[in-house]
Amino acid sequence: MAKELDTSIQYLSGVGPKRAELLKRELGIETLSDLIHLYPFRYIDRSGILPIAQVAPDLAYVQLQARVVSRTLYGPSSSIVSQESNPIHWGAIKRLSVIVEDASGQMEMVFFKGIRWNFQRLAPGSTFLFFGKPQAFGNRMNIVHPEVDVPQEGAMSQGALTGVYPSTEKLKTGGITGKVMCKLQSAALALCLPEIQETLPEYVLRDRGLVTLPYALKNIHFPKDSYALQKATYRLKFEELFFLQLSLLKQKYIRSRGERGIPMPRVGADFHACYNALPYALTGAQQRVIKEIRGDLMSGRQMNRLLQGDVGSGKTMVAVLSCLIAIGNGFQACIMAPTEVLAQQHYANIQKYLAPTSVQCALLTGSTTQRERRGIHAGLEDGSIGLIVGTHALLEDNVVFRNLGLAVIDEQHRFGVDQRAKLWAKGPAISPHILVMTATPIPRTLAMTLYGDLDVSVIDEMPPGRKPVQTMCIGQNRRAAMYKFMRDEIARGRQVFVVFPLIFESEKMDLKNLEMGYEEIVRAFPLPDYKVAIVHGQQSSEEKNFNMSAFVAGRAQILVSTTVIEVGVDVPNASVMVIESAQRFGLSQLHQLRGRVGRGAEKSYCILVKDVKTSKEAQQRLDLMCATEDGFEIAEQDMKMRGPGDLEGTQQSGLPISLNIASLAKDGQLLSEARVYAGQILEADPTLKAPQNAPLVRELRKDKYEIKDYSKIS
């Protein structure tokens, strides 16, 4: 990289060591390159000059050109300080009032900071541009702390549109105001623009109608006009999404072309035995997904597929049938779950599915005894165990397979890539096929990014017999009616979940709320008629398992818990889900919790109980939950509301690379285009060897594209 771009920010005029430390701490900016890649998140139009007579308090920002008429200094309790007193005791001055006028009228500018400097600068008779937010004070309009400029001063900083940059209270206190930030950007661009290297090949700029990088950088910070800003924004967003997809797809291409997969041409007798004995027909979506998986397994290339399906859509069934194909070809399969409860549940269900087959299945978790372990290890090594279900225990070094052909990973986001790599390494010389499953619906744009190197299948159809869950939102004043409803459902032989939020920062307080809530429920549902179980993260595994199994077995009618029940617990007899302080949960979490009921044949209900203080945004979330049960729609809306970590101008977290300007929530269409275009380039030149692709190779070598490449071992 060129030298100016690498220069430490402290050497830029107007920064210095103290401000440099502040910029690093608050915004992660260390070099000039970091600074010019911090983009404004909105713009203020400063093209027009408003006559003072037209200024009104409901206007967002106004720009005036006016002459200073008079200035007054005020001390404590609004006493006027004589301007003649020599010397003026500046420490005792509390505010400065400046009256300005144009041809249409007069107005006041007020300063509580920088009083001495502004007093000396704003001499009566001189004319300035004043910019700020007007407000009515008494019978007069004023602007507090306006930005003050000499008309026509400084070429680069006086465009019509002025950028507003991400900021924090500490930056403002440290003197890095919006205006200072604009000055720093102007100085940094003057130094860096001459050595900015184009990152995209000539033909890409031509194909996509993109402006050059220097033009884009100049006009994103200081737009010549709104058209220039639009061109600059489009260029920078496209580039960001294009390189993100190019880096992911390149891994996928390397893998699909270079990585041989275990060929599995047969289906096998066990698959047919299981399939023909199913108590119900598979949905069209399940059949489609099995076909896609079957195609991968026969292709001779390694499968890397993500299977998305809402809670209860029948993913486990698809996983079992896929495992049976591997077993029918003489290989072993494993299903790995994130928690012991989920692994046990999978195991119990899978045992039923496997009854008509000759396949031996085992369960390996943290609580498997040493004696059982020895038998399981031996069975995996000699190949007599065809399918193993387990937790992280499957990753232990002493777990050795005879010939692992398929690994299924449930709730993928709970496992690190390193852990998956460990599992893959347990296969024979050729890596096993991989099927990753998630019940957390991921918006399409996010799936294309987080799992851009995987093929994606979606089960978008519910099995017959699943009744929709009726969702309602109530306030605290309806609690008595809710308890009556719970008693009625329990009288009909049903069970009830009551979930409390547990947010880490205030765990003690939340635990107190949970315990108080539990006591209130025990008072409202007393023994011997009712039994209430409680489960939370502070309990030991034994306590948790004891209480949980009491509820699962029907010995307790009510389970009070924190979100530990979010993933996977299956209690078909539970028909009511009560979520306390529902406004504190995210949409996808609410949706996951709601999926715990509606698993049996009975009509089910989800009751969202909101607190008295519920913000407008939280209310929108609760309304959406009542309006739809479609997990994908909820996930899309959730991302639009919250962004994937996309708050005002801050970067999005959890992505393979950080995005400075594009947003997965808002730029889905552009992301799709960028992915298709990146795919076309790799189709023509998979290793990017062609001379015209040299800029792409150079850009992909940068640290930020160092997405861990496990394609060699996956």
CATH code where residue 578 lies: 3.40.50.300
Q: For residue 542, what are the domain limits?
A: 469-628
Examine residue 262 and state whether it is found in any structural domain, yes or no. Answer: no
> How much of the chain is in helix, strand and coil states, percent to nearest 5?
45, 20, 40
pLDDT band at 367 (very low <50, low <70, confident <90, very high): confident
Q: Are residues 496 and 422 in the same domain?
A: no
The helix (H) or strand (E) run that includes residue 517 is: helix 507-524
Phi, psi values for residue 409, rounded to 5°? -115, 120
Distance CA 477, CA 630 (A): 29
- We report the CATH number of the domain holding residue 16 as 1.10.150
Examine residue 657 and state whether it is found in any structural domain, yes or no. Answer: no
Q: What is the pLDDT of residue 155?
A: 40
- The single-letter DSSP state of residue 421 is H
Asked which of 45-59, 151-165, 191-205, 458-472 is least confident by mean pLDDT, the reply is 151-165
| pLDDT, mean over the chain | 85
Q: Are residues 387 and 290 in the same domain?
A: yes
Phi, psi values for residue 233, rounded to 5°? -60, -45
- The single-letter DSSP state of residue 200 is S
CA dihedral (671, 673, 678, 679) in degrees, to 10, reads: 110
Average pLDDT over residues 126-151: 88
CB 415 within 8 A of CB 567: no
Q: Are residues 341 and 429 in the same domain?
A: yes
Phi, psi values for residue 46, rounded to 5°? -115, 30
Distance CA 210, CA 372 (A): 64
Distance CA 250, CA 495 (A): 51
Distance CA 282, CA 452 (A): 28
Q: Are residues 39 and 96 in the same domain?
A: no
Q: Are residues 537 and 511 in the same domain?
A: yes
Q: Are residues 56 and 101 in the same domain?
A: yes
Per-residue pLDDT reduced to its tens digit, 216-237: 999 999 998 889 999 999 999 9
Share of the chain above pLDDT 70, in %: 88
Q: In the listed set 139, 169, 195, which residue is the last one of a domain according to the structure? A: 195
Q: What is the pLDDT of residue 589?
A: 81
Q: In the listed set 597, 628, 659, which residue is the last one of a domain according to the structure? A: 628
| 3-state DSSP assignment of residue 283 | coil
Distance CA 46, CA 61 (A): 9
Q: Are residues 23 and 91 in the same domain?
A: no
Q: What is the pLDDT of residue 410?
A: 87
Give how far the C-alpha of residue 499 lies from the chain's centroid of Cα atoms, to the nearest Å: 23
Q: What is the pLDDT of residue 609?
A: 96
Per-residue pLDDT reduced to its tens digit, 92-115: 889 999 999 999 999 999 998 888
Q: Are residues 388 and 521 in the same domain?
A: no
CB 572 within 8 A of CB 495: no
Tokens of 5: 């771009």
Examine residue 250 and state whether it is found in any structural domain, yes or no. Answer: no
Q: What is the pLDDT of residue 655?
A: 53
CB 705 within 8 A of CB 252: no
Q: What is the pLDDT of residue 613?
A: 86
Distance CA 635, CA 667 (A): 16
Examine residue 448 and state whether it is found in any structural domain, yes or no. Answer: yes
Q: Are residues 525 and 487 in the same domain?
A: yes
Q: Are residues 344 and 428 in the same domain?
A: yes
Q: In the listed set 101, 127, 152, which residue is the last one of a domain according to the structure? A: 152
| Count: domains in the chain | 4
Q: Which residue has the higher pLDDT, 657 or 218?
A: 218
Segments of 193-279 assigned E as strands:
none
pLDDT exceeds cutoff 70 at 643: no
Average pLDDT over residues 352-363: 95
Examine residue 520 and state whether it is found in any structural domain, yes or no. Answer: yes
Alpha-helical regions (H) of 51-209? 115-121, 169-173, 178-192, 202-208
Average pLDDT over residues 585-592: 84
Share of the chain above pLDDT 90, in %: 46
User: Hey, what amino acid is at 90?
Assistant: W
Examine residue 431 and state whether it is found in any structural domain, yes or no. Answer: yes
Q: Are residues 622 and 502 in the same domain?
A: yes
Tokens of 461: 């159809």
Q: What is the pLDDT of residue 24?
A: 92
Distance CA 145, CA 160 (A): 21
pLDDT exceeds cutoff 80 at 508: no
Examine residue 348 and state whether it is found in any structural domain, yes or no. Answer: yes
Asked which of 235-244, 437-446, 605-614 is least confident by mean pLDDT, the reply is 437-446
Q: What is the pLDDT of residue 505?
A: 44
Q: What is the pLDDT of residue 701?
A: 85
Q: What is the pLDDT of residue 714?
A: 32
pLDDT exceeds cutoff 50 at 493: yes
pLDDT exceeds cutoff 70 at 666: yes
Asked which of 15-24, 603-612, 641-650, 652-661 is least confident by mean pLDDT, the reply is 641-650
Q: What is the pLDDT of residue 79?
A: 85
Which 3-state string (H, E, C) describes 522-534? HHHCCCCCCCEEE
Per-residue pLDDT reduced to its tens digit, 432-454: 898 988 877 777 667 777 666 67
Average pLDDT over residues 319-327: 97
Q: Are residues 78 and 189 in the same domain?
A: no
Q: What is the pLDDT of residue 113?
A: 84
- We report the CATH number of the domain holding residue 86 as 2.40.50.140
Average pLDDT over residues 673-683: 92
Examine residue 687 and state whether it is found in any structural domain, yes or no. Answer: no
What angle (nearest 5°) sits at the alpha carbon of residue 273, between those of residues 268 and 276? 120
CB 253 within 8 A of CB 711: no
Q: What is the pLDDT of residue 654?
A: 44
Can you give the pTM of this predicted structure? Answer: 0.60
Tokens of 56: 């009104």
Q: What is the pLDDT of residue 333?
A: 96
Q: What is the pLDDT of residue 678?
A: 93
